[in-house]
Chain A
Amino acid sequence: MDRTPHAYTPHDVARRETSEQLRARIPGWGADLDRADRPQFPELSLREDLTGARWEFPERQPGGESRERSIEHAFVTPVFGTAQPRRGLSGAIRKHAYAKYSEARAAHWLMLIAADRVEATGAHLMSIVRLHPDNPITETGITSELTRSGLSSRFGRKRSDTNHQWMDPVLVAGPFVAAAVVGAKALARARRTD
């Protein structure tokens, strides 16, 4: 090594370009240079006049009585989302996760993840019963592999994520393949019984 790197000496690393050079080369360089004039910066200062709110506490949205809430909240917030209310087994798991465990507990989140999988499985089954079955071709957008350069986007491009992408089709298509196999076996067994 010809010289001692700056990290081991008292000296700053020399800048490659001066501010003047950067200002000439980069459009807008330094427009927000003044750190005291970055008014968007989230300092904890009270801003009484800027939000558009005309209330100190918002009027309450009706219907919050039975809604789940984090037990770290004092109450159901005055405004809340009403999309996809809890229902069924997944709803029961979610209700328990919210009622029993705070956000600090891993059990809270892992139960919610489990409820998501329970609901997804039930939804796939119900979609068949309701004659609007999930379509693994259209719902995964997999046909874009053919129309959007699936192969050339992936290979020979030093992408790191291709190391693990082989797992995705297995996980996505696996349940459909398993269901088809189980269905075929059941059908074959029924025919033998006849």
Chain B
Amino acid sequence: MRAMVYRGPYKVRVENKEIPRIEHPNDAVVRVTMGAICGSDLHLYHGMMPDTRIGHTFGHEFIGVVHEVGSSVQNLAVGDRVMVPFNIFCGSCWYCARGLYSNCHNVNANATAVGAIYGYSHTCGGYDGGQSEFVRVPFADVGPTIIPDWMSDEDAVMLTDACPTGYFGAQLGDIAEGDSVVVFGAGPVGLFAAKSAWLMGAGRVVVIDHLEYRLEKAREFAHAETFNFTDYPDIVVEMKKQTDHLGFDVAIDAVGAEADGNLLMHVTSAKLKLQGGSPIALNWAIDSVRKGATVSVVGAYGPIFSAVKFGDALNKGLTIRGNQCPVKRQWPRLFEHVRNGHLKPSELVTHRFPLEHIAEGYHVFSAKLDGIIKPLVIPSAA
């Protein structure tokens, strides 16, 4: 089969690989019909995630058709059209039994602090991902779901991570009616978080970024007020002015490790890998909210320490909540929102790259060229 493989920081190519085989009775092998590149894939692409091995196939957002099932699989059959959450999870450990699927303890031998994620390094379990023609899907009875007939492929693939993660970010903010919400980052997750904040009754939603075309999308798609932080000498001061010097009730960090930051932050994180990412967006979030507020973190950071302004968080009495999104737990409600028209996840898709051109897709997404917001990946056999 053809599959994207990592060749070192900033370098990927497509190679022939063996089709995955059933390795556990509850495995399935899925023929990928559509995948996506996630903003968090850029952490891998930039070499920021420890234990990202040469030859690894990225891709944790994908849908496909069941190609083969293991002997104990009962809920899926060959030929089913399925969407697969980015989390791999067993369904029975202490965490899964409580709905924390992203924290499953039975699938990632390499780490206890994070669950397993398709195509997301050995730190996240060492599973090849879905930017390929076929992928191994463990616990086929637990994770994947048959795509409803009424749902489009592009909506379905956006529901495997970006949309639920944004929605989850708004949930972690514990938004109450009339709350003011500031979202850092106008990528797909930030845009979905902003849109979801309205569903939860926010009274005001502000989105901050430096890319004008994304801020335009935030105004159009998420009905948000927008601020380009490069227009202000200090965006935190502007946020205080915007809230009568109180600060926002809720902040959502939808940027994570990819933030650029100042020269010191950039070099120590993106170049020297001595931080788990530049925490400038998180620090702005901490400083832009009022005392006693909630900061929701769904932007992904690496496992290495980051220079977070924890003293400010403590002294302001903040509640900081973060997690990888337990995707399947979001689906029932999100399916309702998609079906009744409150959310149209595919509206954020801007680019579709054939798998064979995936190096171009990574570069365009990484360098933010051509008005890119969300790139999809289409395998040649799809």
Residues of A within 8 A of B25 (CB): 59
- Cα A158 to Cα B226 with chains together (Å): 15
Residue in contact with A109 in the complex, picked from B198, B211, B304, B364, CB distance below 8 Å: B304
CB–CB B116/A81 < 8 A: yes
CB distance from B44 to the nearest CB of A (A): 10
Residues on B with C-beta less than 8 A from A8 are 245
Does A189 interact with chain B (Cβ within 8 Å)? no
Contact residues of B between 1 and 56, Cβ < 8 Å to A? 7-13, 23-26, 47, 50-56
B78 proximal to A (CB < 8 A): no
| A56→B94 CA distance, assembly (Å) | 10
B40 to chain A, nearest CB (A): 17
- Cross-chain contact B9 with A134 (CB below 8 angstroms): no
Contact B8 A120, beta carbon cutoff 8 Å? yes
Please name all residues of chain B whose beta carbon is closer than 8 Å to the beta carbon of A46 when the two chains form the complex: 97-98
Question: A72 contacts which of B24, B54, B112 (Cβ < 8 Å)?
Answer: B112
Query: Is B122 part of the binding interface, using a Cβ–Cβ cutoff of 8 Å?
Result: yes
Cα–Cα distance between A110 and B273 once the two chains are bound (Å): 8
B253 within 8 A of A: no
In the complex, whether B234 has a CB less than 8 A from a CB of chain A is no
Indicate if B72 sits at the interface (CB-CB under 8 A).
yes
CA distance A84 to B107 in the complex (A): 16
Residues of chain A in range 1-18 having any CB-CB distance to chain B below 8 Å: 5-8, 13, 15-17
B149 at the interface (CB under 8 A from A): no
Asked if B231 CB lies within 8 Å of chain A CBs, one says yes
B363 touches A103 (CB 8 A): no
- B90 to A150, Cβ gap below 8 A? no
CB pair A141–B359 under 8 Å, yes or no, is: yes
Of all chain B residues, the one with the shortest Cβ separation from A17 is: B203
Q: Tell me the complex Cα distance, A7–B368, Å.
A: 38
Q: How far is the CB of A67 from chain B (nearest CB, A)?
A: 6
Tell which of A29, A48, A149 touches B198, judged by Cβ atoms closer than 8 Å: A29
CA distance in complex: A158, B176 (Å): 34
How many angstroms between the C-alpha atoms of A48 and B91 in the bound complex?
A: 9
What's the dominant secondary structure at chain A's contact region? loop
A67 touches B109 (CB 8 A): yes
A139 contacts which of B12, B210, B371 (Cβ < 8 Å)? B12
How many of chain A's residues have a CB under 8 angstroms from any CB in B? 105
- Contact of B180 (CB < 8 Å), options: A13, A39, A123: A13
Cross-chain contact of B91 among A51, A61, A148, A167 (Cβ < 8 A): A51
A32 neighbours in B (Cβ, 8 Å): 196, 199-201, 333
- Tell me, rounded to whole Å, the shortest Cβ–Cβ distance linking A36 to chain B: 12
**Minimal Cβ-Cβ distance residue in A for B101:** A51
Q: Say whether A22 faces chain B, with CB atoms less than 8 Å apart.
A: yes
Can you list 29 A-B contacts with CB-CB less than 8 angstroms, sorted by A residue number? A7-B244, A7-B247, A15-B178, A28-B198, A29-B198, A38-B171, A40-B167, A40-B171, A40-B329, A51-B96, A52-B141, A77-B105, A79-B24, A79-B90, A81-B126, A82-B126, A83-B56, A103-B112, A103-B303, A112-B50, A134-B11, A138-B13, A139-B12, A139-B13, A141-B360, A141-B364, A149-B369, A160-B210, A160-B229
Interface residues of B (CB under 8 A from A): 7-13, 23-26, 47, 50-57, 72, 74-75, 88-92, 96-101, 105-113, 116, 122-123, 125-128, 138-139, 141-142, 167-168, 171, 174, 176-178, 180, 196, 198-201, 203-204, 210-212, 223, 228-231, 243-247, 260, 263, 266, 270-271, 273-274, 290, 302-305, 323, 326, 329-330, 332-333, 337, 340-343, 359-364, 367-371
